[in-house]
Structure 1
Amino acid sequence: MPGPEPEPPAGADLHRALLDELRFPLAWGTAPERDFAAWRRVARRTVEDHLLVDDQQGVPYAPEFTDGPEGDGYRRQTVALSLTRHTRVRGSLLTPHGTGPFPAVLLLHDHGGRFDIGREKCVRPWDGGPARLASAEEWARRHFSGRFPGDELARRGYAVLCLDALGWGDRGPVGYERQQALAAHLFHLGSSLAGLMAREDVRAAGFLAGLDRVDARRVAALGFSLGGYRAWQTAALTEDVAAAVCVAWTTGLKEMLAPGGNALRGQSAYYTLHPGLSRYLDLPDVAGIAAPRPMYFLTGARDPLFTPEGVSVAYAKLRAVWESCGAGDRLRTELRPDTAHEFTAPVQDDVFAWLDSVL
């Protein structure tokens, strides 16, 4: 005889009621603004109002450069710069040999629950000792077919900048179990972990675009996983980014907020959580602020973190925005059947070829 049905989780009715109330009234096509440029201004200001971190554009970068060993066709430097009035950050800067100005990529690292390395996930480290190099190489084997995407881009003629986000590498390691405490401290102080990351990424894009060695008209943001989220968010918030690539972080918000899902567990979710923003805009609505600039969204059909339904909802919303601007050919969306949560060599080759075509 079957037993009693299990009790629903605590708060399930409230969760469903709040989810059903999300209407995203400022989404393009729903918002009262019918002029796209006017909508972009309102939508971007709405996002910025929910970052809880002030605009930092007046803060001097005050960069300091330290040369590293020569790479295979490119120059390596460590750069230290001020992204906000409170945060000074170290990063890896790669510059191709030859005569610039060069196209450039702001390379945004992932989360992955791994904090001892940040920028070293994307750029092969030349300092920090053998333990850091071993950690970075293991990460590259696990997610990038043994490659370092930043080094590959530099060999192809791109200047590359990759910085540590708060909690990783030289700015950590915060550790998985301490993320929520970090987010809570910032909220209590009237700030936001996700908002700080967004402001820093925008500032990093401005710094890269302002370098003499870089062609400011040809700067892209590129990232995998959390880095992919950061890439489209940065493109939405600044005109310093001319194109963006998001690998393995695209979904509709409602489809992401399934009970038991990663986004409802706290911890790493706080790097993408802007309190109150979902009352106005869905995740792809925010990404749509970047239209009509070229963007490439790529998700693996075998990715366990994002459901095909959530990806399809996001892609449909994005497609509607770009096509309404007469720029459907500038948006590429792909659900790759043979790919999981990874940025493998074949995917990298496709992405880099796309960047070549748009930059």
Structure 2
Amino acid sequence: MTAGGDPPGALPGFHPALKDELTFPLAWGTSRVRDFEAWRRTARATVEAHLLVDRQDDTPYAPESTAREDGDGYTRELVTLSLTRYGRVRGALLTPQGPGPFPAVLFLHDHGSRFDIGKEKAVRPWYDDTRLAAAEEWADRHFDGRFPGDELARRGYVVFCADALGWGDREPLAYERQQALASNLFHLGSSLAGLLAREDQRAAGFLAGLDRVDARRVAAVGFSMGGYRAWQTAALSDDVAAAVSVCWMTGLKGMLVHGNNTLRGQSAFHMLHPGLARHLDLPDVASIAAPKPMLFLGGGRDPLFTEEGVRTAHARLRAVWHSLGAAGRLRTETWPETGHAFPGRMQDAAFAWLDSVTGIRS
């Protein structure tokens, strides 16, 4: 017990007052800025400032690719490139067979407290038998045994998925090292979440710039932390035209409750931009992407998000798209029997929606 008689890890007594003081004054509809394009510029600039990582990184991608190998209706290759000036990153790139250019998906992998695999969580690792076993176990647990990146490639999308810092080929983190890494970056005037956001922006630019890709039809897709990354990238990158976010959307106040992972440090630091909550709630940041086509899917039995938080967020999102006359471009759904997962039937629904907004199916 703490000195105040609360269980270890309980929130301080003034926590409710701090939550009450969060009014999100820059939110669309609350802000004094009434023109949406002007609001978008202001809101995006505010988010950019809170990333704490320089926006102006024009380091050449300088991609290096392995030889292409055949998959099931697509080819596969590994690409090593520079997403920032701080190091090289390896990703999996899948390309449909046939004439392009093709629509494309930037697939953003989850956290999951498992670090030996990153890109392999979404794309079957044809290049590594050891990682294949781990990846298949992950796919069985969360995706009904599917690799969603491969599913999308079979449907006709170029798919790119790279390791985030601390996963796969990028010096996998032991779980206890995350907080130390985040703290060190803060001391250096930087941010773990900001670096992740910048890399995702750059990855979207790389994918959109490929000759094989129709730059007008690039989508961001992700599950769990990857879902957060998907809507964040759609909000911050003009290279992303649509997004699918699975199992990561909530109102901040509904998430800041005792026992939630967000308050435990560790994984929270991948999604924490210090001070941003004084200006915008989480769905307000996602709304910077409006009126792009966006799909938000959640599980009614997802233990990581409260029902109130999800309901609040979805309502705020719908209000923004509705105010722009674009309500039909936004879908927010909660699947009552689904937990924190992206099962096959949910994938089918999500990818069918994506097909409809990219025009891949006539």
TM bracket, shorter-chain basis: over 0.9
Distance 1:17 1:40 in 2: 29
- 1:42 aligns to what SS in structure 2? helix
- 1:176 aligns to what SS in structure 2? coil
Q: Which residue of structure 1 lines up, in the alignment, with residue 341 of structure 2?
A: 342
Q: Is the contact between residue 22 and residue 277 of structure 2 (CA under 8 Å) also seen in structure 1?
A: yes
Equivalent runs, 1:99-118 vs 2, <5 Å: 99-118=99-118
- 1:138 aligns to what SS in structure 2? helix
Q: Which residue of structure 2 lines up, in the alignment, with residue 7 of structure 1?
A: 5
Q: Is the contact between residue 221 and residue 235 of structure 1 (CA under 8 Å) also seen in structure 2?
A: yes
Q: Which residue of structure 2 lines up, in the alignment, with residue 35 of structure 1?
A: 35
Of 226-235 and 257-266, the range deviating more from structure 2: 257-266
Deviation, 1:61, is: 0.7
Q: Which residue of structure 2 lines up, in the alignment, with residue 333 of structure 1?
A: 332
Per-residue CA deviation, residues 296-351 of structure 1 (Å, 9 max, x unaligned), is: 00000000001111000000000000001100000000011111100000000001
Q: Which residue of structure 2 lines up, in the alignment, with residue 280 of structure 1?
A: 279
- 2:334 aligns to what SS in structure 1? strand
Q: Is the contact between residue 24 and residue 280 of structure 1 (CA under 8 Å) also seen in structure 2?
A: yes
Instruction: Indicate the RMSD between aligned Cα atoms, in angstroms.
Output: 1.1
- 1:54 aligns to what SS in structure 2? coil
- The aligned amino acid for 2:251 is G
Q: Is the contact between residue 93 and residue 158 of structure 2 (CA under 8 Å) also seen in structure 1?
A: yes
Distance 2:298 2:118 in 1: 22
- The aligned amino acid for 1:101 is P
Answer yes or no: is 1:299 the counterpart of 2:293: no
Name segments (4+ residues, structure 1) moved above 6 Å: none
Q: Is the contact between residue 57 and residue 85 of structure 2 (CA under 8 Å) also seen in structure 1?
A: no
Of 79-88 and 53-62, the range deviating more from structure 2: 53-62
- 1:269 aligns to what SS in structure 2? helix
Of 62-71 and 8-17, the range deviating more from structure 2: 8-17
Distance 1:173 1:311 in 2: 31
- The aligned amino acid for 2:120 is E
Q: Which residue of structure 2 lines up, in the alignment, with residue 313 of structure 1?
A: 312
Per-residue CA deviation, residues 182-207 of structure 1 (Å, 9 max, x unaligned), is: 11111111110000000000000000
Distance 2:6 2:26 in 1: 33
Q: Which residue of structure 2 lines up, in the alignment, with residue 175 of structure 1?
A: 174
- 1:220 aligns to what SS in structure 2? strand
Equivalent runs, 1:223-238 vs 2, <5 Å: 223-238=222-237
Answer yes or no: is 1:62 the counterpart of 2:62: yes
Q: Is the contact between residue 11 and residue 258 of structure 2 (CA under 8 Å) also seen in structure 1?
A: no
TM-score (norm 2): 0.96
Distance 1:212 1:251 in 2: 37
- The aligned amino acid for 1:272 is M
- 1:216 aligns to what SS in structure 2? strand
TM-score (norm 1): 0.97
Deviation, 1:56, is: 4.0
- The aligned amino acid for 1:308 is E
Deviation, 1:173, is: 1.1
Distance 2:81 2:293 in 1: 28
Answer yes or no: is 1:164 the counterpart of 2:163: yes
Q: Is the contact between residue 262 and residue 269 of structure 1 (CA under 8 Å) also seen in structure 2?
A: yes
Per-residue CA deviation, residues 161-217 of structure 1 (Å, 9 max, x unaligned), is: 000000100012102111101111111111100000000000000000000000000
- 2:166 aligns to what SS in structure 1? coil
- 1:298 aligns to what SS in structure 2? strand
Q: Point out where structure 1 has 5 or more consecutive residues left out of the alignment.
A: 1-5
Answer yes or no: is 1:357 the counterpart of 2:361: no
Q: Is the contact between residue 56 and residue 199 of structure 1 (CA under 8 Å) also seen in structure 2?
A: no
Q: Which residue of structure 2 lines up, in the alignment, with residue 250 of structure 1?
A: 249
Distance 1:134 1:11 in 2: 40
Per-residue CA deviation, residues 95-144 of structure 1 (Å, 9 max, x unaligned), is: 0000000000000000000000000000000223x221100000000000
Distance 1:107 1:355 in 2: 13
Equivalent runs, 1:141-152 vs 2, <5 Å: 141-152=140-151
Distance 2:77 2:24 in 1: 44
Answer yes or no: is 1:189 the counterpart of 2:188: yes
Q: Which residue of structure 2 lines up, in the alignment, with residue 124 of structure 1?
A: 124
- 2:222 aligns to what SS in structure 1? strand
Q: In structure 2, do the counterparts of structure 1 residues 71 and 320 end up closer, same or farther at CA, with 3 Å as the change threshold?
A: same
Q: Which residue of structure 2 lines up, in the alignment, with residue 96 of structure 1?
A: 96
Answer yes or no: is 1:85 the counterpart of 2:85: yes
Q: Is the contact between residue 109 and residue 223 of structure 1 (CA under 8 Å) also seen in structure 2?
A: yes
- 1:197 aligns to what SS in structure 2? helix
Distance 2:177 2:5 in 1: 31
Distance 1:72 1:257 in 2: 44
Distance 2:309 2:343 in 1: 22
- 2:76 aligns to what SS in structure 1? strand
Q: Is the contact between residue 56 and residue 85 of structure 1 (CA under 8 Å) also seen in structure 2?
A: no
Distance 1:250 1:87 in 2: 30
Q: Which residue of structure 2 lines up, in the alignment, with residue 3 of structure 1?
A: none
Of 216-225 and 8-17, the range deviating more from structure 2: 8-17
